[in-house]
Each structure stands twice: as C-alpha cells, then as structure tokens.
Amino acid sequence: MVALPIDTAKFTGIICAVPPMPRVANRETGQLRVDRETGKTVYQVGLCLMAGTSADVVTVSVPGEPTGVQVGVPVQVRDLVATPWENEGRHGVAFRATEIKPLTASSGKAA
C-alpha cells in the first residue's frame, strides 16, 4: 500500500486530544513497537484535525516520545501521511508522522 501525504497547512487547527502513549506490538509480552528506521519506540497520539466547521480525531503514530505534547495543546505535525490497510477482511487508514511537537509562538502562530 502506498502512503498518501497530507498537507497539514490546510487544517485550521491541530490539537492533542489523547496524550502520547507507547504503542504495544505484542499484548501478551508487553513488547513495545519499535520504528525500523530510527530504532525509537513508536508512540501514538490522538489528534483533533480541524478544518472549517468540521473536526476529526485520528490516532497518529510517531517515532520517539513527543515531549511537551499534552491534551488540549495545539501541535505542529511534520510529514503526516495516511496509509490504507486491509487485514483479514478488516480495513482502515493508518496515520503516521515523523514528528509531533507543541505549537510555539516562534512558529508563526500563538500557542
């Protein structure tokens, strides 16, 4: 499946809705998922993506713990992609980013 890039500049706001949590690879052993490229633990963060009068909460995976990201905090997302998946009759879309960090005044928008 091909990863589809998402232009985050089109959103009127992106806010943390669910705090970062390590992603579990094996529920029986508690082993955490590790990013193949960086070797860092993969975290998942619930983000509220707002555009005009609509908003959706999606779970985004990111390598490494996103520091300073807390519920209600506006965030900046780098290299967000959506990848459609199908497994044993189930299907959905997985979201992934290379970085999620709190939005700061220095990025051009008020925090």
Domain boundaries, given as residue ranges, for the chain: 4-104
Rounded Cα gap, residues 97 and 104, in angstroms: 18
Q: Is the pLDDT of residue 111 over 60?
A: no
pLDDT for position 104: 78
The model's confidence at residue 109, banded by pLDDT at 50, 70 and 90, is: very low
3-state secondary structure of 1: coil
CATH number corresponding to 4-104: 2.40.50.390
Q: Using an 8 Å Cβ cutoff, are 15 and 41 in contact?
A: no
E strand residue ranges, 1-111: 4-5, 13-22, 24-26, 31-32, 42-51, 54-63, 75-78, 81-87, 90-96, 99-102
26-78, pLDDT tens digit by residue? 999 999 999 999 999 999 999 999 999 999 999 999 999 999 999 999 999 99
Give pTM, 2 decimals. 0.87
Buried b vs exposed e over 58-78: b needs ≥16 C-beta within 10 Å?
A: bebbbbbbbeebeeeebbbbe
